């Protein structure tokens, strides 16, 4: 649960820990670079124009994080108390 909100994942190519940012822009914060990498959800990939970082991240997971953070989980959650 909290993993989704924290947005931390390990890039399988570099083995380094990265962070998914969704606000205000969707992007991946990665080590040794001040820029956010562009995420291509359809390709399960992210790429940074500033440093050339080319990484992999699950597009489905990215969408889960976006959904979780945008707080629209009430739409599909069936919490009938």
**Residues of the shown chain interacting with Zn ion in the complex, contacts defined by CB under 5 A:** 33, 35, 48, 50-51, 53
Q: Who's near 41: CB < 8 A, 6+ residues apart?
A: 59, 62, 63
The CA distance from 46 to 28, in Å, is 7
CB of 56 to Zn ion, least distance (A): 15
CB of 36 to Zn ion, least distance (A): 8
CB of 29 to Zn ion, least distance (A): 9
Q: Which is nearer to Zn ion, 29 or 41 (CB)?
A: 29
């Amino acid at each position: 649960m909290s993993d989704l909100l924290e947005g931390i994942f390990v890039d399988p190519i570099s083995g380094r820990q990265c962070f998914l940012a969704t606000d205000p822009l969707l992007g991946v914060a990665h080590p040794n670079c001040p820029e956010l990498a562009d995420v291509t959800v359809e390709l399960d990939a992210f790429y940074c124009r500033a440093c050339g970082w080319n990484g992999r991240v699950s597009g489905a997971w990215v969408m889960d994080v976006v959904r979780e953070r945008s707080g629209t989980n009430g739409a599909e959650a069936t919490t009938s108390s």
